[in-house]
Structure 1
């Protein structure tokens, strides 16, 4: 269990910070009932779906192009398991209470924006919007349960897809540009929350901060690729730890 002294130290750093960065992964949404991906009990923990097919194949850009019914069947199966669970939790709200915070999230659930965070970089896109694979048609994705397999564009008849990055696809150029711009401006405090930090673009901001002497904090139940770099390593649930830190920090501001 994290001791109060350590939380107080981190809260003091946050109270003084003017440009904190919060890097978040699936673990921050665990308290919302959404599973993590690669951690213990994660969605992709054994690498296979119910038919024994590798997730990285079924949920890939190549599969969507060649056999869209397989990709969409898996997307809808996941949505059915998660129906009604995707609710903002206290960790999302804690970050949203910091108007000067920048959020770099791998999550495609849209919960940071729903919680009210103002500066969010969704580096893997968002499942809450559908767009056509051929034309410019876009629409909100409000009802997963009643989508046909695969859904079709009402304007040109091509397959629709979620505005989220699938396996084997490049990251959204707009999100990468925003990340580069924010990194160029710099940060004075970096949190890594609920992510295994396996992707270089997720680990890099922590590594850059650590090398520059900028304080770094990790909140995650298990060791990760950046655990050896951070100044503070908090093992536990972000929905319990982050609100305590933010509440203490806000009480010390001004």
Structure 2
């Protein structure tokens, strides 16, 4: 009996055209778990420790920016100290070998770029990037802000350039993501809980468009039932094994 990784490689190989795969990778918090970036949901998730309404909504930020920025400054330090894990490296290798053209990520940690991925759509933003609430100037932090809350040169406060709860996602990135989801041959879904929309709907859109779907995840999710192959396990272990076998064929 063939194992799931072998089956996944067979699906991918059947879609190759002149040693090229037309694919995208969708990643969630589980992709960065092995880089010591906590997930939001599930065991030891951030929302088990924090009330998201107190640290991740626009109303909370307007009400108490010092409290919010203290929370985010810790997150920025954590991200700056973190390194890509084998899952990030495997995804970068997929792109380098022309086995995928797009990485659509719900993560705001920038680890895909650190690993070498070039075409990354950060649909939830980037935690190390901020934007001014008045002039909209953006800045990337290379260290946690020394002033809490940090301020722009114009005197107004910076806010994290991430999508907070109850905020709309960037329409241009979402439109592009859905367009990609419909037009590729293969969707590779990695480490996502399948609970946060609209990102969670992308694999379903792909499936309805005739796209093959591979799901790499530690637990079963709503994406499991539409997967052509579900590879259960730690993505930092299963994904590199998949890429290694795919590269040999």
TM-score tier after normalising by the smaller chain length? 0.7 to 0.9
1:1-254 map, 5 Å:
5-15=3-13, 16-17=15-16, 18-44=21-47, 46=48, 48-49=49-50, 54-79=51-76, 82=78, 85-99=81-95, 100=98, 101=100, 102-144=102-144, 146-153=145-152, 155-184=153-182, 186-252=183-249
Cα distance in 1, alignment partners of residues 58 and 136 from structure 2: 18
Deviations 1:32-78 (A, max 9, x none): 1111110212111x2x53xxxx2233221222223211211221244
Secondary structure of the residue that 2:139 maps to in structure 1? strand
TM-score of the aligned structures, taking structure 2 as reference length: 0.88
Shift of 1:109: 0.3
Is the 8 Å Cα contact of residues 53 and 60 (structure 2) preserved in structure 1?
A: no
Aligned length in residues: 240
Describe the shift of the 1:83–1:203 C-alpha distance in structure 2 as closer, same or farther (beyond 3 A): closer
TM-score of the aligned structures, taking structure 1 as reference length: 0.86
Deviations 1:162-213 (A, max 9, x none): 21111121112331232143235x1111121111111232232211233344
Query: What is the RMSD of the two structures over their aligned residues, measured on CA atoms?
Result: 2.0
Secondary structure of the residue that 1:217 maps to in structure 2? strand
Secondary structure of the residue that 2:218 maps to in structure 1? coil
Q: Which runs of 5+ in 1 are unaligned?
A: none
Cα distance in 2, alignment partners of residues 105 and 29 from structure 1: 11
Secondary structure of the residue that 1:117 maps to in structure 2? coil
Is the 8 Å Cα contact of residues 189 and 215 (structure 1) preserved in structure 2?
A: yes
Shift of 1:129: 1.5
Deviates more, 1:164-173 or 1:8-17: 8-17
Secondary structure of the residue that 2:71 maps to in structure 1? helix
Deviations 1:202-252 (A, max 9, x none): 232211233344321211112222222212222211111111101111111
Describe the shift of the 1:173–1:213 C-alpha distance in structure 2 as closer, same or farther (beyond 3 A): closer
Runs ≥4 residues deviating over 6 A: none
Secondary structure of the residue that 2:46 maps to in structure 1? coil
Is the 8 Å Cα contact of residues 151 and 157 (structure 2) preserved in structure 1?
A: yes
Cα distance in 2, alignment partners of residues 93 and 157 from structure 1: 40
